[in-house]
A and B are shown apart, each in its own frame.
Chain A
């Protein structure tokens, strides 16, 4: 779950030196040094530890045996195929849904656009596994919908009344959950691209007599190709490393039924079988497709800026859409929106009813149980996510400012490594931390503390803040800062008093994105939680995993409610609240 890439940075201006800047600007120098330490300690060190652990033999030497095992065993190969296949199909389906929604909201004159575009973003606020959980409540063997279908089957006096049921466990379930989780992302990309598209091109085609379909397939869709490409890659990258939905829904049959998917497999190897060598090996293998796809997307995004038509000339309006197409788009949007609402309602219902599937009396006891058992986890999650999101947004903004406004030689390398945690799967970052700070390698032991979770939160969500702020910085005229500098403001003062207030919106965006991801993440923190530092998302996942549906639904409700509360507060505060930067 994430937002699309903000634009990439411009090349640094060559600094004109009189005296070395290291001495002229001690604050910048120190901050740079601090950033380098952070990147080395929290990105490179964990990643290297992971690699080392995977090739370290038990007798102390080095070995590639685990990689050989991985590629020689059909089980592991099938796990890899399952992962790539499911991630690919789900990424493709997310594009189709995302396009339908974007086309409906941007181009069609359909009712309820505001509601559609608000509801469609809701899945981004939920942990991916929560959607899988809701799907189980609806479409499990005993889910609401399937029970209804069974009754229909009985009523029709079918030989097998369960023939009508569509049970969610298996590849199709994982694909559905992943699609629902990530199509909002595709929606955002396509609606941005459709809004920015120059309507004159379509108009020209129509003027020359092209039909609606001809224009759509020969002009509109080709113009969307770059957006489609980068959005597909992005969603594929998230799908490849997903854990929650596969873990909950692969109980049925995947494409290769004797295997599972990579991220759950890594977690089973470590937490279930205690096999650190094999677990880290799988995590390292998981890095390859993620990074490959990330770099491909980055490369393409950079080139895209030359191809895409920009500017929004007035005077022309988008091509009119035939009534039939509008109806179809409206129908698809309505169906998906209703389904999303269904998901939320079913979770609420589950939280307030006594025993799902048996006794639908209203009760508050699941909340009692959930609060008694998890009140500390809730506090931990909120404190670490609010603090972590503030810190990630702060560090990201500072880094963006330094990289763009006060570049040192080699700043591009630093930028590259700062962005790396964005592309690395959660399992890799979490396991990397567990190896690096767990006393298995190195001396710094942070296992069992809040700090290991907190630092992981920050480093994983800093890249987004960095990109966000870098994009915003490009729209701020450096003349403002130069004026302040001419009046004698030192760089640090300049940053805090002049630039930062102008970056409020990007700071808020980074905070919100970071907060939501920190609240809902499980793949990284599953390796980092400890008896004293439990988190709400992990408690929730365990409750689902153990089949305690009522408690799980109550915990979900608490998670959704507290996330909304913090977001509402952040918005309220940001009107006036981020003014505290000035004082």
Chain B
């Protein structure tokens, strides 16, 4: 009995020590990027600085909830792949630092933001994608760049997209749908009508912003809406998945931020600096991301996004109306994230 207690006590001590040792050197990152991607991205940084990157794979909406919940006792140091609208919201909630990383002056003009708390890190367009086999098997029309074609009743129950409450991807999609109508002279009410009709064709609103790409790649659903990077990665894996760049297309860059009073602020800032180096930027392109600094090639064989097709969305409008838009979305579609 005493021996058992000793063993237990020794085990606790060991693990507890392990924890304190780990705390000093690690940078905890919340990002929707998968572990494989994050390991490739952080390897040169860790080799250089000795700082380990621990990535928690989590959707942007969920990580915002988490950062708020942890505000009194922050668990994460760094927040990666966050849209300007959500950065603005997090900054006004006091969750993130206004840190301008070294090298931010090298960012291309199109991706520059006057707000010190918004720094672009990478970008990829929000696209339609489809499984060629599943589409031909079900005898569906292939998606066109026209959003209105997505309302085709033949597509009922064939589309998968993320849920805007949990996924930043989906929030971007919803705001694009609204702005497209409003910028063509329609009212927001008409924008919601479009979303209502669109949601009739959606079979499932996923929790994760990157689940639709996997579901479509695997042939579970024929057509999806989501960011290009995960589609590109699925294509590299050999999945029969094709991309259509819609018109207008959402192609806002994503940014990153250092968490306010996180356990390792210095490490997080160093990682932020690293992300704008040519080395980090070219690693990004290996995973279907487009660089934000000059002189780096876009992903090999990646789609072309004509700049005149890019929808312009005031991210402050997007941030200020987030609560209202999410509530209306819930009302209009009565859909829950699965």
Interface residues of A (CB under 8 A from B): 75, 140-142, 150, 161-162, 247, 250-252, 258-260, 264-265, 268, 271-274, 276, 354-359, 369, 372-374, 383, 387, 390-391, 394, 438-439, 445, 447-450, 496, 500, 530-534, 542, 545-549, 580-581, 583
Contact = CB atoms under 8 A, between A and B. Distances in A.
Contacts of A545: 207-208, 211
A359 B68 CA distance: 42
Interface centre among B19, B70, B207, B338 (most CB of A within 10 A): B338
Interface stretch (B106-114, B236-244, B292-300): B236-244
A372 B75 contact: no
Interface stretch (B176-184, B214-222, B246-254): B214-222
Contacts of A374: 35
Given A394-B4, A450-B16, A355 B239 contact: yes
Interface string B11-55: 110011001001100101000001110010000000000000010
A383 B15 contact: yes
Interface centre among B15, B68, B165, B239 (most CB of A within 10 A): B15
A448 B75 contact: yes
B204 interface: yes
A387 B16 CA distance: 14
A449 B19 contact: yes
Nearest to A492: B1
B210 interface: yes
A496 B1 CA distance: 7
A545 B165 CA distance: 16
Contacts of B56: 531, 534
Interface residues of B, number: 61
A580 B3 CA distance: 7
B34 A546 contact: yes
B214 A546 contact: yes
Contact of A369 (B16, B23, B36, B338): B36
B4 A274 contact: no
Nearest to A398: B1
Contact of A391 (B8, B22, B166): B8
A421 B181 CA distance: 53
Contacts of B239: 355, 358
Contacts of B4: 390, 394, 580-581
8 contacts: A161-B137, A250-B338, A251-B203, A355-B238, A356-B218, A383-B11, A545-B207, A546-B57
B122 interface: no
Given A162-B137, A373-B35, A450-B15, A75 B334 contact: yes
B57 A387 contact: no
B65 A448 contact: no
Interface centre among B1, B8, B203 (most CB of A within 10 A): B1
Interface in B58-114: 61-62, 64-66, 68-70, 72-73, 75-76
A450 B220 CA distance: 38
A273 B65 contact: yes
Contacts of A140: 218, 220
B141 to A, nearest CB: 17
A369 B22 CA distance: 22
B336 interface: yes
Given A369-B35, A372-B35, A447-B73, A272 B15 contact: no
Given A532-B23, A545-B208, A260 B218 contact: no
Interface centre among B28, B215, B336 (most CB of A within 10 A): B336
B304 interface: no
A547 B215 contact: yes
A449 B208 CA distance: 26
Contacts of A450: 15-16, 19
Contacts of B68: 274
Contacts of A252: 204
Contact of B218 (A274, A531, A547): A547
Interface string B120-161: 000000000000001001100000000000000000000000
A355 B237 contact: yes
B55 to A, nearest CB: 8
A271 B64 CA distance: 10
Contacts of A394: 4
Contacts of A500: 1
A75 B204 CA distance: 17
A532 B22 contact: yes
Interface in B226-243: 237-240
A332 to B, nearest CB: 30
Contacts of A542: 57
Contacts of B73: 439, 445, 447-448
B36 A373 contact: yes
Given A260-B336, A358-B240, A372 B39 contact: yes
A272 B11 contact: no
B8 A251 contact: no
Given A448-B73, A580-B4, A141 B62 contact: no
B63 to A, nearest CB: 10
B337 interface: yes
A546 B19 CA distance: 28
B28 A532 contact: yes
Given A140-B220, A358-B239, A394-B4, 5 more contacts: A357-B218, A439-B72, A531-B75, A547-B210, A580-B4
Contact of A548 (B15, B34, B72): B34
Contacts of B210: 546-547
Contact of B1 (A247, A355, A581): A581
B1 to A, nearest CB: 5
Nearest to B14: A383
B214 A390 contact: no
Given A448-B75, A450-B16, A581-B1, A272 B62 contact: yes
B8 A272 contact: no
A260 to B, nearest CB: 6
A80 B217 CA distance: 34
Contacts of B214: 546-549
A547 B73 CA distance: 32
Interface centre among A273, A387, A545, A547 (most CB of B within 10 A): A547
Contacts of B39: 372-373
A540 to B, nearest CB: 12
A224 B100 CA distance: 72
Contacts of A383: 11, 15
Interface centre among A247, A274, A394, A533 (most CB of B within 10 A): A274
Contacts of B19: 449-450, 532-533
A74 to B, nearest CB: 9
A390 B8 CA distance: 8
Contact of B28 (A272, A531, A580): A531
Nearest to A380: B15
B316 to A, nearest CB: 22
Contacts of B22: 532
Contact of B336 (A150, A268, A532): A268
Contacts of B65: 271-274
Interface string B176-215: 0000000000000000000000000001101110110111
B259 to A, nearest CB: 11
Nearest to B64: A274
B209 to A, nearest CB: 9
Contacts of A369: 35-36
A354 B239 CA distance: 11
